[in-house]
Amino acid sequence: MVTVEDGRIVAADNACTLGEQKFLGEPRLKGPIQREGKGWKDITYDEAILRTVEMLRDAERPLLFGWSGTHVEAQCIGVHMAEVLRGVIDNTSSVCHGPSILAIQEVGHPGCTLGQVKNRADLVVYWGCNPIEAHPRHLSRYTRYAEGFFLPNDYLDRTVIVADIRKTETGNIADEFVQVTPGGDYAVLSALRAIVRGKRDIIPRSVAGVPREQLFRIADRCLNAKFIAFYFGLGLTMSRGKYKNVRNAIELVSELNRHTKATISAMRGHYNVYGSNEVNTWMTGYPFGIDFARGIAFYNPGETTAIDVLARRECDACLVVASDPAAHFPRACVEHLADIPTVVIDPYPNATTAFADIQIPVAVTGIDAAGTAYRMDGVPIRMRRVLKTDYPSDEEILGRMYAMLQEDHPP
């Protein structure tokens, strides 16, 4: 439910605190801008599109990055562009759950949709994530405070365990908080796997700050639960060991399935980052970090992912769509962005604007553009348009660019 006054959204009900801000974001660019020396000038959409196409055409190794903030339809065009340009295409999962994907590629992913958790999960584990701050609605919609079909007394029926290196807000509402020494998640998860396998005798008095008794107690809670929903976050993907931490968590959950029902899922952010993974996968075979330099899709995160390509200065042009790498990438990456031609397609000026040669404002999916987004559990959702503006959609802008690029390569 949104309230519109003078073509601008002034209130958004029934959205979470984070969602609300998406509706009430800062003033948008009125039209495309181009950097001129130490300043900026306004240009037309036609000029902006043509110059972007020229920049991409000239590049020997263009990077097309972002994609999490836009709709599936635009993401599909992005993949076709990367293919025709023979560039590298990557999305923001390389800085959120890319490691989770690497782990899934090693051991799979016993998961489920959120409704399974809501209706069945009597034990919820949050590991290295802090949904109260990062996913404010998660607990009330699906876990701690949610009524489920088989759990009519939400709060009383469910147990919540939180494991983290610091006691976050989510840790405060847990039935049990597990304080892990930074960098110790892998060891703790290994220990739990051994315990679930009946090898309690091997466990030392304490593992990465967690006392043996607590490890046993957590394992017992899991073994006695009817349905375990294990959620993990950036605490596993970004810390030492990266994807191996996630792999270990998945293998713990797989092992638990020999005794009871257990599922595991990543707490994903960036509202449509999963859509980008899905699109990339059905079109190229790989969820992120795809290098088309040789015409075929090559995938090797750590080499073909945005951070690595930028920090190692391996690209010579960058198209940023619906994301803000200058705010979220290490400095070495941002400094390279400053050195190469960069175009940003985004409704709002952001930190990356400062490094753009051109920025093209577009409609916002779910506000003035419709489109598809994938929820973090893989359920695709139709994002409706609630406001009519003159801004073109990402799909439209990228579609025009792709049409021009195709002229270079007639069939």
Partner 1 sequence: MNEILIKNACVIDPISGINGEIMDIAVSDGRIVEEVGSGAEVIDAEGFLTLPGGIDSHTHICGTKVNFGRYMSPEDMRAGRTPRRGRMHSTSGYSVPTTYGNSYRYSGMGYTALLEGAMAPLEARHTHEEFAYTPLQDTMANVLFDGNWAIMEAVREKDTKRAAAIVGWTLAAVKGFGVKLTNPGGTEAWGWGKNVSSITDVVPYFEVTPGEIIDTMIRATEMLALPHSVHIHCNNLGLPGNYRTTLDTFDLVPDLNRKRQTLYATHVQFHAYGGTSWSDFCSKAEEITRSVNEKPQIVIDMGQVMFGKTTTMTADGPMEFNLYRLHHNKWSNHDVELETGSGIIPVLYRRKNLVNSIMWAIGLELALLTKNPWQCLLTTDNPNGAPFVRYPEIIGLLMSRKYREAEFATIHPDTEHRVSLPSIERELDWQEIAVMTRAGQARALGIVDIGKGRLAPGAEADIAIYPLKIGEVDPGREYERVIEGFRQTEYTIKRGRIVSRRGECLVWGNNTTIWVKPKISERYDMAQDPAFVEKFDRYYTVRMRNYPVQEEYLKRNLCIETETEL
Partner 2 sequence: MRVTLQVKPRKKPFLPIEAETIVPAHFLDGTDLVVWKGNRELPLSDVFSVTVEGTAETADEVEITMRGDTSRIKRVGEYMEAGRIVIEDDIGMHCGNFMSGGTIEIGGNADGWLAREMRGGSIICRGNAGNYCASGYRGEKRGMTGGTVEVFGNVGDFAAETLAGGCVVIHGSAGDMAGTEMRGGTLRIEGDCTRVCGNMTAGTCYVFGTVHDMLPTFRRRGTAVHDGVTLTAFTGDIANRGKGNLFVRDYKYMD
Partner 3 sequence: MRFLMNTGRTIKQGITVECKGSPGYGSETSRCFMHPLDMMEMGVCDGECVRVESTEGAIVLAAAAAESVTPGTIFVPYGPYANHIIPGATRSTGMPDFKSTPVTVEATTDRRKTVYELMEEMGGVAYHC
Which structure tokens are listed for 1?
Answer: 């439910």
Structure tokens at 381: 């959702």
Q: Of the two residues 20 and 303, which places its CB atom closer to partner 2 in the complex? A: 303
One character per residue 108-127, x = contact with partner 2 (rule: CB under 8 A): --------------------
> Which of 58, 23, 71 lies closest to 319, judged by CA?
58
Spell out, one character per residue from 137 to 176, where the chain touches partner 2: x when CB under 8 A holds, - when not. ----------------------------------------
Could you say which of 64, 83, 168, 345 contacts partner 1 (CB under 8 A)? 83
CA distance linking residue 153 with residue 140, whole number of Å: 13
Give the integer Cα–Cα distance in Å for 228 and 257.
Answer: 9
Under the binding rule (CB under 8 A), the answer on residue 299 touching partner 3 is no
Question: Number of residues in contact with partner 3, rule: CB under 8 A?
Answer: 73
- Binding-site partner at residue 355 among partner 1, partner 2, partner 3, none, CB < 5 to 8 Å by type: partner 3
Q: Judged by CB under 8 A, which of 126, 274, 292, 355 binds partner 2?
A: 292
Nearer to partner 3 (CB atom), residue 312 or residue 388: 312
DSSP 326-351: HHHS-HHHHHHHHHS-EEEE-SS--G
* Among the residue ranges 73-81, 152-160, 210-218, 302-310, the one whose residues contact partner 3 (CB under 8 A): 302-310
Residue 184 binds which entry of partner 3, partner 2, partner 1, none, CB below 5-8 Å type-dependent: partner 2
How far is residue 133 CA from its own chain's centroid? 16
- Which amino acid is residue 397, in one-letter code? I
Q: How far is CA 411 from the centre of its chain?
A: 35
The answer to whether residues 371 and 363 touch, using CB atoms and an 8 Å cutoff, is no
The candidate with the shortest Cα–Cα distance to 41, out of 314, 330, 359, 266, is: 359
Here the tokens at position 32 are: 């495309």
Under the binding rule (CB under 8 A), the answer on residue 388 touching partner 1 is no
Instruction: Find the binding residues for partner 1 in span 244-303 (CB under 8 A).
Output: 254, 257-258, 260-263, 277-278, 281-287, 292, 294-297, 299
- Tokens linked to 298: 């090559």
Question: Which tokens hold the place of 297?
Answer: 């899709």
Judged by CB under 8 A, the chain residues 212 through 241 that form the site for partner 3 are 234-235, 237-240
Binding residue (CB under 8 A) for partner 3 from 18, 84, 107, 293? 18
The residue from 187, 262, 264, 363 that contacts partner 2 (CB under 8 A) is 187
Structure tokens of 283? 């079109």
Length of the chain: 411
60 sits near partner 2 (criterion: CB under 8 A):
yes
Amino acid at 123: L
| Interaction between residue 1 and partner 2 (CB under 8 A) | no
Give the residue among 202, 174, 170 at the shortest CA–CA distance from 187. Answer: 202
Distance CA(397)–CA(78), nearest Å, equals: 11
Decide: is 134 part of the binding site for partner 3 (CB under 8 A).
yes
Q: Can you give the binding site for partner 1, defined by CB under 8 A? A: 72, 76, 80, 83-84, 101, 104-116, 118-120, 141-142, 147-150, 226-227, 254, 257-258, 260-263, 277-278, 281-287, 292, 294-297, 299, 370, 372, 374, 378-382, 409, 411
